[in-house]
Amino acid sequence: MKIPRKVVKDVAVVAIGVLGIWLGLQAAFGTPNPFYVVASGSMVPELEVHDVIVVQGHHPFEEVVPGNIIVFDRPSDRAKVIVHRVTSIISEDPKQVRTKGDANSGSIPGTDWPITEREYIGLVIHSVPAIGYVTQALQPPVNYIIIVVVVGIMAARHFSKSRSST
């Protein structure tokens, strides 16, 4: 079965549009991923599990102050992204900060401090409550099924138009 050019064109337009939007968001927010889903309860009640946060990577690390909620790689191994509130400035030259989850009893060495510019990803500028449930639902294989269904609908529409015009 040969795939009609119109279907290929439509899929290409959608793919290029999604890629363009994603690259535009990365440039606008200054981070490879401007959106994160909160995965733990360490920031309750400020941020709940499954909230989506918007991260501004253009906010300079030098301007981070106590009270800011920041996103950073865990300093001990950089294997996990953390979202916590800055509690203090440890040093200014070079700048290092200490953080803590609002729901945690204290800062955890190797997780909450020392945070340097190297670990810093960005400042949390907004959160959207509970929208992360959608992202959980759209993980593989569900997302692949949705893509196949959408492409199938596009192809079916094309074939039905082709048959009706003949």
What digits encode the pLDDT tens for the residues 98-120?
Answer: 999 999 999 999 999 999 999 99
Burial of 160 (0-12, 13-18, 19+ CB in 10 A): exposed
Q: Is the pLDDT of residue 27 over 70?
A: yes
Mean pLDDT of the chain: 91
User: By the 8 A CB rule, do 81 and 71 touch?
Assistant: yes
pTM to 2 decimal places: 0.81
User: By the 8 A CB rule, do 53 and 132 touch?
Assistant: no
| Residue 87 identity | T
Radius of gyration of the chain from Cα atoms?
22
Percentages helix, strand, coil for the chain, rounded to the nearest 5?
35, 25, 40
Domains of the chain: 31-130 (2.10.109.10)
- Joined together, the tokens standing for residue 139 give 């993980």
Rounded (10°) CA dihedral 58, 64, 66, 70 = 40
Which pLDDT belongs to residue 1?
62
